[in-house]
Amino acid sequence: MARLVKRRVNARPRRRAGILARQAGRRPGPVDPHRRVFLRLHVNGADHTIAVAPHRTLLEILREDLGLTGTKHGCELGECGTCTVLLDGIPVLSCLALGLECDDRPVVTVEGLADGPTPHPLQEAFTELGAAQCGYCTPGILCAAKALLEADPDPNRDAIREALSGNLCRCTGYIKIFEAVELAAKRRREPRAAPSRETLFGRRD
């Protein structure tokens, strides 16, 4: 799948360019538009060395070169937030970050949230409360919510609203998403905490 996408995006024949040797620290000089340089990416705890041209965004590299298609293409202009990933632990828009700028910096995508077969508490809570409908915004929201809980383990509703304000969801109306983040936060203190019995649609039994 990733290969197919790549071929379609780069439909023009690629010039076979040499690959600049990567030096420690800064690159030695300008990177030619048609050259690719080695980029060391630390994604979800794994190291990758890949060759990329300057115009490729982090989002394109994650999806097309590394096959990590959990992070979604959205508006491409910074309006929707669905491409949110964590760079150096803070949420950024991967569609507006150049790959070359992410050299040697840790990246966490939605694929990196689970601990092996165990979903992240946020993922558990989202599943349990049905906080995703079409799911297209969910990867970005999970990443933004993870950064929030790491900075503020017990956020109130306003803090959650603010932290997720850059992530558009056109299905849920957000209430279930806020409740799921609250439940995940609560479970950090009380691992067996149950979801609220009151829901938008009446009492849960």
Residues of the shown chain interacting with another protein in the complex, contacts defined by CB under 8 A:
26-27, 30-34, 53-55, 57, 76-78, 81, 84, 90-93, 95-98, 100-101, 144, 147, 162-163, 165-167
Min dist CB 50 to another protein, Å, is: 16
* CB nearer to another protein: pick between 32 and 124: 32
* CB nearer to another protein: pick between 5 and 100: 100
Min dist CB 186 to another protein, Å, is: 22
* CB nearer to another protein: pick between 127 and 173: 173
User: Which single residue is written with the structure tokens 């803090």?
Assistant: 159
* CB nearer to another protein: pick between 12 and 203: 12
CB atoms within 10 A of CB 70: 19
Distance CA 204, CA 134 (A): 23
Distance CA 73, CA 81 (A): 9
Min dist CB 175 to another protein, Å, is: 14
Asked if 111 and 44 count as a contact pair (C-beta separation under 8 A), the reply is: yes
Distance CA 125, CA 194 (A): 10
- Residue 118, classed as helix, strand or coil, is strand
The helix-helix angle for 121-129 and 175-189 (nearest 10°) equals 130
The helix (run of H) or strand (run of E) holding residue 125 is helix 121-129
Asked if 85 and 120 count as a contact pair (C-beta separation under 8 A), the reply is: no
Min dist CB 21 to another protein, Å, is: 15
* CB nearer to another protein: pick between 24 and 46: 24
Min dist CB 106 to another protein, Å, is: 15
